Structure 1
Amino acid sequence: MKTIAALFFFSVLNCIAQTSGRIIKIDNFQSKFINARNVQIWLPPGYDTNKKEKYPVLYMHDGQNVFDKGNAGFGVAWEADGTAEKLIKEGKVKPFIIVTAAHGDSLRYMEYFPEKAAKNFTDEDNKVFKELSEKMNVQVNWLADEYLQFMIRELKPYIDKNYRTLPDAKNTSVCGSSMGGLISMYGICEYPEVFGQAACVSTHWPLLFDNNNMHPSEAVRTYMKDHLPSPTNHRIYFDYGTETLDQYYEVHQKMVDEIMQAKGFTEGTNWVTRKFEGASHDEQSWQDRMDVILEFLYGK
């Protein structure tokens, strides 16, 4: 009887593995480039039973806020795993893996700011950021290049070695919100051979926290004009809301949209910009449109 009971138990577990995704947690993933941080991997339904199938991978920033509200900074998570599982079961998207890396706490702004764009700052811009860093109690020490090295030289090779992935650029995407939107844009520009898609959610184009001084953001647009990847084999998603911090984004996004058009991207094909009326700059708003983001990236 015990043998029958054990077989039944493992049969139930097997069924659960087929119909539900699961999360693997790695604490203090070590890096030569940045501070160690927690990494989480979400494996889609069927991963454990379809042993021959390989999967696209979505890399997401701000890993604390992606899956579990218990770990989220403001008590609300994107719940990307739940949305992905629902869309997969409904047949709206193809199955994929999600990998998250936590942000570097007080270094988040420095890790996510497009480092090479700072070369376009004027002396006045540098003065503004020196004052901002003092208010944030951090040094002006741009770390985005180091953060991306961690992603492409350490994290991605680990994922490709230990999980059944489709490792080419076509099947590798990057996604983040606010400053995470900036580093997602930067990632696909710096490493177009690694990332084929980017989702830049409520991208923090102003760099500051209002539009009283819009000049520093010109440095980012100048960088984009020089470094956007080829529209023939890359796809980019942008969006923004209209409330709280997002209220300042539309004027910037329209200028970015002009750059996208000038660089040969076609809206509705390899690029979209979505405006969400009434949406705020917070995890709840991003959770609410996670389905839109994932359908752009992985829709059938």
Structure 2
Amino acid sequence: MSIIEIEHTIPMLKSPRTIRIYRPTELSAEEALPVIYMHDGQNVFSGETASFGKGWEVHHALHTVKLHAMIVAIDSPDDGMDRYDEYAPWTDEALLMRTAYPSHRTTIGGNGKQYMDWIVHELKPHIDTHYATIPTDTTMIGSSMGGVISLYGLFAYPEIITRVAALSTAGWANFSSLLEFIERSPRLSEQHRCYMDVGTKEVSGPMTENDYLHTNDVLAKAVQKKVDSATYTVIPNAVHHETEWAKRMPDILRFLFSS
């Protein structure tokens, strides 16, 4: 596996970031490829860099499904609270309840719009300039809070992002704002595809299985009204962990890139 690491700073957030770039080594550097942008980039490949010791090993999933694509994996902030800020387009009480222990924080969330603007207006043009890509073929994948920001990206920039996978979305975060944003968005075109899923045993902090199941059910129904090629799967006994998301990746890629 050959991964190039580059360093960028998100100017509006004054936040330095490692970005891990993977292209299948068997392909020519001149072959234009679709690009998959992924959040929590430290978890996308090897468990050696993963937050909890297990990586998604997405490069293996690409080979399993014989998909020629490029991965751009954006590390999340080192501070978990900054991650909530960055992956949530809006502030809300659910985020404060979930992360109540840092007493110095009075608000959490609200930087997601700036983060997505940076991906679309700065990072993507950089990638398209320095690598052989198909600029009109852009996918975004994230889990948990990464699912929240990925769904936001699909409806905020449908002219740029055509495929999204939101795994085990932390739907309780930004729930009302995200739901309203989706419901008020125009219907997307035939080229758009959206995959969503959730396990029946997902918990995080005070958030229960019912919190995950209910909010994902509601969000998925809203997405399916806007996207013709949308699917939503409830996975029996699946928990909130990278091992689960790694297992699902081949099927997710097959759906997103099916003709």
Q: TM-score range by the shorter chain?
A: 0.7 to 0.9
Measured in 2, the distance between the counterparts of 1:239 and 1:97 equals 23
Q: 2:2 maps to which residue? A: 22
Shift of 1:175: 0.5
Q: 1:233 maps to which residue? A: 191
Shift of 1:157: 1.0
Whether the aligned pair in 2 keeps the contact of 1:111 and 1:144 (CA below 8 Å) is yes
Aligned partner (choices 250, 258, 263) of residue 213 of structure 2? 250
SS, match of residue 134 in structure 2: coil
Offset from partner CA, 1:46-88 (integer Å, 9 cap, x none): 3336x3x211000000001000100101000111112112321
Indicate yes or no: 2:220 matched with 1:260.
Answer: no
Aligned partner (choices 113, 130, 133) of residue 145 of structure 1? 113
Indicate yes or no: 2:134 matched with 1:159.
Answer: no
Offset from partner CA, 1:248-286 (integer Å, 9 cap, x none): 3222222223323433x33xxx11111211111000000
Q: 2:151 maps to which residue? A: 185
Ranges in structure 2 where 5+ consecutive residues have no aligned partner: none
Root-mean-square deviation (Å): 2.1
Aligned length: 249
- Which one has a bigger Cα radius of gyration? 1
Q: From the superposition, tell whether residues 167 and 241 of structure 1 become closer, same or farther in structure 2 (CA, over 3 Å).
A: same
SS, match of residue 111 in structure 1: helix
Measured in 2, the distance between the counterparts of 1:134 and 1:258 equals 30
SS, match of residue 167 in structure 1: strand
- TM-score, normalised with respect to structure 1: 0.76
Q: 1:113 maps to which residue? A: 88
SS, match of residue 103 in structure 1: coil
Kindly report which structure 2 residues correspond to 1:1-300, keeping only aligned pairs within 5 A, or say none: 22-26=2-6, 28-34=7-13, 35-48=15-28, 51=30, 53-88=31-66, 93=67, 95-106=68-79, 107-115=82-90, 118=91, 126=93, 129-130=95-96, 134-136=100-102, 137-140=104-107, 142-168=110-136, 171-207=137-173, 217-227=175-185, 230-245=188-203, 247-248=209-210, 249-263=212-226, 265-266=227-228, 270-299=229-258
Q: What percentage of residue pairs aligned between the two structures are identical? A: 31
Offset from partner CA, 1:125-160 (integer Å, 9 cap, x none): 55x655655524545251111111221122111110
Q: From the superposition, tell whether residues 31 and 256 of structure 1 become closer, same or farther in structure 2 (CA, over 3 Å).
A: closer
Whether the aligned pair in 1 keeps the contact of 2:64 and 2:250 (CA below 8 Å) is no
Measured in 1, the distance between the counterparts of 2:241 and 2:99 equals 23
Give the ranges of 4+ consecutive aligned residues of structure 1 lying more than 6 Å apart after TM superposition.
none
Give the structure with the larger strand fraction.
2
Whether the aligned pair in 2 keeps the contact of 1:189 and 1:229 (CA below 8 Å) is no
Ranges in structure 1 where 5+ consecutive residues have no aligned partner: 1-20, 119-124, 208-215
Shift of 1:178: 0.2
